[in-house]
Amino acid sequence: MSKLHVSTTVNGDPVEYLCDPRETLLDCLRDKLNLTGAKEGCGTGDCGACSVTVDGRLVCSCLMLGVEAEGKEIETVEGIADGDVLHPLQKKMIEYAALQCGICTPGILVAAKSLLEKNPNPTEEETRYWLAGNLCRCTGYDKIIRAVMDTAAEMREAS
Amino acid sequence: MALDDRKSEFTFVGTRPDRPDGLDKVTGRAKFGADMSAPGMLHGAILRSPHAHARIVKIDASKAEAHKDVKAVVTRADFADVPFKPGLEGEFWNVLENVMAGEKALYDGHAVAAVAATSALAARDALKLIEVEYEVLPHVTDVDKAMAPDAPVIREGAADYSVPEGMHPNVVRYHESGHGDVEAGFAEADLVIEDSFVTEATHQGYIEPHACLGALGGDGKGELWCCTQGHWIVQKTCAALLGIETSQLRVTASEIGGGFGGKTTVFIEPVALALSRKANRPVKIVMSRSEVFRATGPTSSASMDIKIGMKKDGTITAAEGIFRLQGGAFPGAPGDMTAMCAFAPYNLTNVRQVGYDVMANRPKQAAYRAPGAPMGAFAVESVLDELCNQLGLDPVDVRLKNAAHEGTKASYGPTYERIGLVETLEAAKAHPHYSAPLKPGQGRGISCGFWFNHGGETSVSLALSEDGSAQVMVGTPDIGGSRASMALMAAEVLGIPYENIRVTVADTASLGYNDVSHGSRVTYASGLATIKAARHAVEKLCERAAAKWGIPVDAVKWEDGCAVPSGPNAGDFDPIPLADITADMGRTGGPISGHFEATPEGAGVSFGTHIVDAEVDPETGKTSITRYTVIQDAGKAIHPTYVEGQYQGGAAQGIGWALNEEYIYGDDGRLQNSIFLDYRIPVASDLPMIDTVIVEVPNPGHPFGVRGVGETGIVPPLAAIANAVSNAAGVRMRQLPMSPPRILAALKDNG
Amino acid sequence: MVEVHLWSSLRSLTGGCEVVEVEARTTGELLRELVRAHPQLQAPIDAGVSVAIDGRIIATGLSEPIPEGAEVYLMQRLRGG
């Protein structure tokens, strides 16, 4: 099967790649652009470890084809920090020990950032339901939820 | 060992600094199993049996081999022929048989062949070109059915010495232990309850599928990168399976995306190496989630009979348990561990426990956090709860009345050293959760849990740099923040800041042998070794100071990161900070390092008590956990936040096991729920906050008092939740998971 | 002499004895002497055992000293996850 040429934008950078029509956006990010921050935990859209945003919308990159990224704006975990300045969510994840193995962390960060952009003052229940698509097997979510809600509070105060 | 120079006042230990791998993990830089690539790399894929039990008549790979994208195909013939010998040495054979099927496919998902091709897609496509002729055989997946006289035999001759005559060949191990006279004990009881319980297999459910990148040459030298809980066992096993020398294979452990016991063995690693040897190029293999479920270690499923007698005052007079564990198509189900742990929290005069290890047509079970213990605790603690209910006794008081303590003869034989069960029960009783009122429809459950913990072979090396910083090399992959804990312990001994210490998980070529990160052993054993290695370096630092001052080395002591004279008679010298000694160490005797290699024996057993509130919806059968408190003895919490994390994670996994998770096999012996949509682990909206109480009853076998904390936390949840659900629903739940259909059926049966 | 307590199912290999007396100063000697006293114990020892000395569980070590008068139990070898 011949490959297709795709031009897209990832974390603000214009990029191009050739992909098989069967390859997912996740495959293309990881294997063609060497952006291995997004992880494949399931390949069926159930675990959220591959979460990215596409034109501002939170998606599982394993459920989207690489060719569908044509002309889109993709944001991944690699784009969350501003240079050497970590996003408040990143800082709080470390401070709260809201990660153990860290494999779900990129997806949680992308999803949580997306939550706070839409809802700067989420309740615990809203936070839990928003993150229900991001599986974590290590933490029991307790410290993740606390980290996200404390970040929200801090960002509200700062703004 | 380790009884000398004990410490109970700490500067760094017990603080909560940021983890050293934090930045990498929040920026996406951390390299996990699937994140590595190599020049010229091929991609491997594995063909798996669609049958639960089948003779492999013929494998024709000629079409695949002829394809332009395919560079190698391997089958069982491409591995070393490890002779089958039952017992411990036979484990290599079992692993090989699991890695690549021989004469028979033994379960749905069993590997039968593998290809390496120029891309992942090409490799997957090439699998379709391999033709396998199977002769389908009768299969069995249920533990009780696998023990029945008419059950198909998985493998003749797999049973060892322990199995009594007349048992089905699928029963491969038998364990019986206990003491006293249970019949006499039951005769003394005011109430005897006898009941049976069933638990389904669950998967460790780590979010990172197994992944590896291997390169092996015809010269027998190889390199392997993989996600594993123990790269030395990977090195040793791969070398045996491929017929190469252990030391010629260098294995590097990636960051590991969860393991929980499931990454303590090999699956794809020997296959990648075999493909690489044939293709003479590096080969990467990454499992799909479905492969993880079908072909890597779930837990055992279990069928259990419990009988406990109690007096009206709550004294247990006798206890008996029969535990049948199904561990897949290979020996290894931890029926013995289930039996030994089940009654361990209690001081019993009369106790008898029997464990069976039973084979069935399922994937080879792998360890999962305190392997074998949670299911036994579920059965035993459910009967205890029922006894309390029927006798009108408080469940914490009854457990306190019967609790094991220092000097108690354990149900598994020996006399306990200092243990912390009573302290966890007293903390439970005093906790506001225990006295909080329940709403209508809610029930409260409690349970105790026990796990042995482990020491294991351990090597640690510590080197000081000229600027006074330190690097520590450990060999236990960091599965829960252990690099932070090691740095805290090294800081405590060296007296330099936590931030000045970098801890690295070394590859197999850079350090001596290390047992796997399992058995809750890392903070205990690698921690002990780190402390000893740091003390070794301190001895050398003191020697340099003594030489400089011209006094004997025993007149120098180490205090707050400085060499100081040990007393007024030693002389009047200003303290020399560590960095001043290391600054010119090259000219005062050479580089200063410390190391330690041993097998620490003194892990110290541990106990926990959990309190759970559950609410059952009688319309749908759905259970919500409304409040959860974990209380567990950590001996000494090195990094308390990470200890809390272990407690919370264990509880969450236990909630999944109790309420949702199960392996569902069809009549055809195929796994029906091999994706996360159908095998549903707890998500954020399923759980409440999980409160934790860290009890600290120091372990006499560790210089700082550490007990392992990783595993015990999954022992009480199944029982505590079952007790809460049973009390909420008004009907005893005897089967896990307590999924909505099972709860509805139980409510209906109860009228 | 060390009194070694065996788990119940080993009785079938020792002619019904649940306690075996052997002369041993270390865990390694103890295992060797157990086999000398009851050769059928070779199978469980090969399959893997641990030894508890005064309640402290020696998972695998053969060189652990056994103090005079210590309480000694043979146990199935421990495994972890």
Same structural domain, B537 and B636:
no
pLDDT at B174 over 70: yes
pLDDT at B34 over 90: yes
Nearest to B224 by CA among B259, B258, B290, B275: B275
Arithmetic mean of pLDDT over chain A = 97
Are B27 and A20 within 8 A, CB to CB? Answer: no
Q: What is the pLDDT of residue B83?
A: 58
> What tens digit of pLDDT does each residue of A5-18 get?
999 999 999 999 99
> What tens digit of pLDDT does each residue of B455-475 get?
999 999 999 999 999 999 999
Nearest to B99 by CA among B86, B91, B111: B111
Chain B segment 27-86 residues within 8 A of C by beta carbon are none
Report in angstroms the alpha-carbon separations of B406 from A3, B347, B416, B421, B700: 70, 10, 5, 10, 12
Mean pLDDT lowest among A90-99, B63-72, B89-98, B231-240: B89-98
Q: What is the pLDDT of residue B567?
A: 85
Q: How many CB atoms lie within 10 A of CB B9?
A: 6
The CA distance from A135 to the nearest CA of chain B, in Å, is: 6
Q: Considering CB atoms only, which of A80, A86, A101 is closest to B258?
A: A101
Report in angstroms the alpha-carbon separations of B145 from B152, B360, B742: 9, 9, 21
Say how far apart CA B104 and CA B168 lie, in whole Å: 20
Question: CB within 8 A of B368, min separation 6: which ones?
Answer: B202, B203, B204, B260, B261, B262, B297, B298, B299, B714, C81
Whether residue A14 is preceded by a cis peptide bond, meaning omega within 30 degrees of 0, is: no
Q: Is C80 on the interface with B (CB under 8 A)?
A: yes
Say how far apart CA C13 and CA C5 lie, in whole Å: 13
Are B19 and A137 within 8 A, CB to CB? Answer: no
Backbone angles phi, psi at B99, to 5 degrees: -70, -40
Mutation target among B37, B207, B638 for the A interface, most CBs of A within 10 A: B207
Same structural domain, B612 and B583:
no
What tokens appear for A146 in the block? 């606390």
Q: Considering CB atoms only, which of A22, A86, A142 is closest to B689?
A: A142
Domain of B582, CATH number, reads: 3.30.365.10
DSSP conformational letter for B713: G
Sheet holding B735-736, edge to edge: B171-179, B351-358, B316-326, B301-310, B191-199, B735-736
Same structural domain, B628 and B573:
no
Q: Is B417 on the interface with C (CB under 8 A)?
A: yes
Q: Cβ distance B714 to B646 under 8 Å?
A: no
Mutation target among A82, A84, A137 for the B interface, most CBs of B within 10 A: A137
Q: Is residue B201 part of a domain?
A: no
Q: Can you tell me the ipTM of this complex?
A: 0.98
Instruction: Give B337's pLDDT tier (boundaries 50, 70, 90).
Output: very high
The list of chain C residues with pLDDT below 50 reads none
> Scanning every residue of chain B, which has its alpha carbon at the shortest distance from the alpha carbon of C49?
B88
Same structural domain, B500 and B571:
yes
Which amino acid is residue B89, in one-letter code? Answer: E
User: What is the average pLDDT across B604-627?
Assistant: 97
Task: Determine the straight-line distance between the first and last CA of chain B, rounded to whole angstroms.
Answer: 60
Q: Which residues of A touch B721 (CB under 8 A)?
A: none
Say how many CA atoms lie within 13 Å of B668 toward its Cβ.
9
Q: Is residue B355 part of a domain?
A: no
> What tens digit of pLDDT does each residue of A58-78 get?
999 999 999 999 999 999 999
Range of the domain at B584: 22-30+455-598
Same structural domain, B617 and B653:
yes
Say how far apart CA B184 and CA B63 lie, in whole Å: 70
Q: End of a domain among B551, B566, B598?
A: B598
Domains and CATH numbers, chain A: 4-79 (3.10.20.30), 88-158 (1.10.150.120)
Q: End of a domain among B550, B566, B598?
A: B598
Q: Counting Cβ atoms within 10 Å, is residue C70 exposed (0-12), middle (13-18) or buried (19+)?
A: middle
Q: What is the pLDDT of residue B500?
A: 98
Q: Is residue B433 part of a domain?
A: yes
Q: Cβ distance C5 to B415 under 8 Å?
A: no
Strand partners, B59: B132
Nearest to B10 by CA among B735, B703, B733: B703
> What tens digit of pLDDT does each residue of B372-429 get?
999 999 999 999 999 999 999 999 999 999 999 999 999 999 999 999 999 999 999 9
3-state secondary structure B417-465: CCCCHHHHHHHHHHCHHHHCCCCCCEEEEEEEEEECCCCCCEEEEEEEC
Q: Is residue B181 part of a domain?
A: no
Nearest to B360 by CA among B138, B526, B557: B138
Same structural domain, B527 and B498:
yes
Between CA B545 and CA B552, with CA B547 as vertex, the angle to 5 degrees is 90
Chains A, B: CB contacts within 8 A come to 182
Partners of chain A (3+ Cβ pairs below 8 A): B
Four-residue CA torsion sign, B674, B676, B677, B680: positive
Q: Is residue B533 part of a domain?
A: yes
What three-state secondary structure class fits A157? helix
Q: What is the pLDDT of residue B82?
A: 62
Nearest to B204 by CA among B677, B684, B681: B681
Arithmetic mean of pLDDT over chain B = 96
> What tens digit of pLDDT does each residue of B112-156 get?
999 999 999 999 999 999 999 999 999 999 999 999 999 999 998
Q: Is C54 on the interface with B (CB under 8 A)?
A: yes
Which amino acid is residue B146, in one-letter code? Answer: A
User: What is the average pLDDT across B5-29?
Assistant: 93
Q: Is C3 on the interface with B (CB under 8 A)?
A: no
What tokens appear for B182 in the block? 């249970």
Q: Is B680 on the interface with C (CB under 8 A)?
A: no
Mutation target among A24, A77, A101 for the B interface, most CBs of B within 10 A: A101
Same structural domain, B685 and B548:
no
The CA distance from A157 to the nearest CA of chain B, in Å, is: 23
Four-residue CA torsion sign, B734, B738, B744, B747: positive
Q: Considering CB atoms only, which of B334, B455, B603 is closest to C79?
A: B334
Instruction: Give B2's pLDDT tier (boundaries 50, 70, 90).
Output: very low
Same structural domain, B658 and B540:
no
Chain B segment 520-549 residues within 8 A of C by beta carbon are 520-521
Q: Is residue B522 part of a domain?
A: yes
Backbone angles phi, psi at B378, to 5 degrees: -55, -50
Are B687 and A43 within 8 A, CB to CB? Answer: no
Say how far apart CA B424 and CA C73 lie, in whole Å: 27
User: Considering its fold, how many domains does chain B have in total?
Assistant: 2
Q: What is the pLDDT of residue B89?
A: 53
pLDDT at B743 over 60: yes
Q: Is residue B245 part of a domain?
A: no
Question: CB within 8 A of B150, min separation 6: which ones?
Answer: none
Q: What is the pLDDT of residue B88?
A: 34
User: What is the average pLDDT across A137-141?
Assistant: 98
Considering only CA atoms, give the Rg of chain B: 27
Task: Give DSSP secondary structure letters for B523-552.
Answer: IIIIHHHHHHHHHHHHHHHHHHHHHHHTS-
The answer to whether A and C touch (≥3 CB pairs < 8 Å) is no
Question: CB within 8 A of C47, min separation 6: which ones?
Answer: B87, B88, B160, B161, B162, C77
pLDDT at B305 over 60: yes
Nearest to B231 by CA among B248, B253, B246: B253
Q: Is residue B43 part of a domain?
A: no
Between CA B157 and CA B162, with CA B161 as vertex, the angle to 5 degrees is 115
Q: What is the pLDDT of residue B85?
A: 43
Are C59 and B455 within 8 A, CB to CB? Answer: yes
The CA distance from B286 to the nearest CA of chain A, in Å, is: 10
Q: What is the pLDDT of residue B570?
A: 87
Say how far apart CA B25 and CA B479 lie, in whole Å: 13
Q: Considering CB atoms only, which of C9, C40, C73 is closest to B413?
A: C73
Q: Is B517 on the interface with C (CB under 8 A)?
A: no
Same structural domain, B412 and B543:
no
> What tens digit of pLDDT does each residue of B241-286 get?
999 999 999 999 999 999 999 999 999 999 999 999 999 999 999 9
Q: What is the pLDDT of residue B726?
A: 98
Report in angstroms the alpha-carbon separations of B555 from B493, B534, B545: 19, 19, 10
Domains and CATH numbers, chain C: 2-76 (3.10.20.30)
pLDDT at B678 over 80: yes
Say how far apart CA B610 and CA A48 lie, in whole Å: 30
The bridge status of strand B104-105 relative to strand B54-60 is: antiparallel
Share of chain B above pLDDT 70, in %: 98
Instruction: Give B1's pLDDT tier (boundaries 50, 70, 90).
Output: very low
Torsion of CA B339, B340, B342, B343, to 10 degrees: 120
The bridge status of strand B576-577 relative to strand B470-474 is: unpaired
Q: Is B711 on the interface with C (CB under 8 A)?
A: yes
Q: Is B371 on the interface with C (CB under 8 A)?
A: yes
User: What is the average pLDDT across B628-656?
Assistant: 98
pLDDT at B729 over 50: yes
Same structural domain, B485 and B570:
yes
Same structural domain, B677 and B574:
no
Q: What is the pLDDT of residue B358?
A: 98
Nearest to B468 by CA among B565, B550, B563: B563
Q: What is the pLDDT of residue B6?
A: 72
User: What is the average pLDDT across B89-99?
Assistant: 86
Same structural domain, B467 and B575:
yes
User: What is the average pLDDT across B192-209?
Assistant: 98
Say how far apart CA B654 and CA B648 lie, in whole Å: 10
The CA distance from C81 to the nearest CA of chain B, in Å, is: 4
Q: Is B340 on the interface with C (CB under 8 A)?
A: yes
